[in-house]
Amino acid sequence: MALIIRPALPSDVPQILAFIRALAVYEREPDAVLATEADLLEHGFGEAPYYTCLIAEQDGAPAGFALYFYDYSTWLGRPGLYLEDLFVFPEHRGAGIGKALLQRLAQIALEKGCARMKWEVLDWNSPAIDFYNAMGAEIQKEWLNVRLSGDALRRLADLGNVVETTEAP
Amino acid sequence: MALIIRPALPSDVPQILAFIRALAVYEREPDAVLATEADLLEHGFGEAPYYTCLIAEQDGAPAGFALYFYDYSTWLGRPGLYLEDLFVFPEHRGAGIGKALLQRLAQIALEKGCARMKWEVLDWNSPAIDFYNAMGAEIQKEWLNVRLSGDALRRLADLGNVVETTEAP
């Protein structure tokens, strides 16, 4: 068995999109993926990338991926590694590939001086929750996620300017 | 009344730390702030900053702040604006400063091509939850936050390497 975990290259973009689509099917949102190869190429491999990606290959075949970026803890005064997507194709599960990806992410987090790793899990995904608990992760039920998008985001932005502002950096 | 919202400067770092500490008191974790001015200076104003910060000033006095960075939606193929901290000093509340900060963030999000804004709220903070609901935000109770830090993070990183890896970018 030859398992390799390596940073994604621009030529991996079609494969990354295939992983994202497969993950969306698993998360019961098969039609939610609007991202294109051009989006992923621009945002992950441009001058100021928004994300970084690892690819797991089993005997030369793409088996899984992890896509992440950095957040920041103002309490700890240190960056954190935020894991947006982690996925292993069903036919490659049970071989420790998900754990190997998480292990490599933990190493990268420590190398970069991060205080922690964070990610989200669906509340019905008991196998994943058990897996994360077993490695000592905390499920933080007190903190709820809030999202503002679409028309509500535009409405908020379009309120009459009641204050002076200067340009954002 | 003169309310100004402006990007933070390196000289604002002591004030940013004061905001962070006041927010931690409000969140019932007064001893949780380990960040130093040196941390905040390095991570917010260096070559590749981990965060960006807005300051709200009321009649020339610091009244509130918003600290944020960018995340990435693999479903939408677009960055998002992640609001880590939002705080207005108690004596300045009720004057629309929190809303003005959120409005400016929404404008920045749209200017940067973000698909959405995200943040977290404590489940007991009903006034904040009502405020966010009123502006059309969704509270996503299905997604739980997972955090791995400290010894558990180091344990995961230190597992014997079972795979070949190449350098992370």
User: A4 and B67 in contact by Cβ < 8 A?
Assistant: no
Per-residue pLDDT reduced to its tens digit, B45-76: 998 899 999 999 999 999 999 999 999 999 99
User: B164 and A2 in contact by Cβ < 8 A?
Assistant: yes
Q: Nearest 5°: phi and psi at A101?
A: -65, -45
- A159 φ/ψ sector (left φ>0, alpha ψ -120 to 50, else beta): beta
Supply the pLDDT for residue B27.
87
Supply the pLDDT for residue A150.
95
- A96 φ/ψ sector (left φ>0, alpha ψ -120 to 50, else beta): left
Interchain CB contact of B101 with A (< 8 Å):
no
Asked if residue B132 has pLDDT above 60, the reply is yes
Q: Which of B100, B115, B120 sits opposite A144 (nearest CB)?
A: B120
Name every chain A residue with its beta carbon within 8 A of the beta carbon of B108. 168
Q: Which of residues 102-121 of B touch A (CB under 8 A)?
A: 102-104, 106-111, 115-121
% of residues, chain B, pLDDT over 90: 87
| A–B CB contacts, 8 A cutoff, strictly below | 300
Q: Is beta strand B143-149 parallel, antiparallel or unpaired with respect to A164-165? A: unpaired
Supply the pLDDT for residue A164.
54
User: Tokens 């949102």 — which residue?
Assistant: A29
Domains of chain A: 3-140 (3.40.630.30)
Asked if residue B166 has pLDDT above 60, the reply is no
Supply the pLDDT for residue A163.
57
- B68 φ/ψ sector (left φ>0, alpha ψ -120 to 50, else beta): beta
Interchain CB contact of A26 with B (< 8 Å):
no
Model confidence band, residue B169 (pLDDT cutoffs 50, 70, 90): very low
Supply the pLDDT for residue A159.
74
- The ipTM (two decimal places) reads 0.91
Model confidence band, residue B110 (pLDDT cutoffs 50, 70, 90): very high
Q: Each residue's pLDDT tens digit in chain A (169 positions)?
A: 699 999 999 999 999 999 999 999 998 999 999 999 999 999 999 988 999 999 999 999 999 999 999 999 999 999 999 999 999 999 999 999 999 999 999 999 999 999 999 999 999 999 999 999 999 999 999 999 999 999 999 999 997 655 555 554 4
Supply the pLDDT for residue A169.
41
Q: Which residues contact B54 (CB under 8 A, 6 or more apart)?
A: A168, B5, B6, B7, B8, B65, B66, B67, B68, B101, B104, B105
Interchain CB contact of B1 with A (< 8 Å):
no
User: A166 and B7 in contact by Cβ < 8 A?
Assistant: yes
Asked if residue B1 has pLDDT above 50, the reply is yes
3-state secondary structure of A1: coil
Q: Which residue in A106, A100, A13, A14 sits closest to A58, CA to CA?
A: A100
Q: Which of residues 41-70 of A touch B (CB under 8 A)?
A: 43, 50-52, 54, 56, 67, 69-70
Report the alpha-carbon distance of residue B114 to residue B98 in Å, rounded: 21
Task: Give how far A90 is from chain B: nearest CA, Å.
Answer: 19
Model confidence band, residue B160 (pLDDT cutoffs 50, 70, 90): low
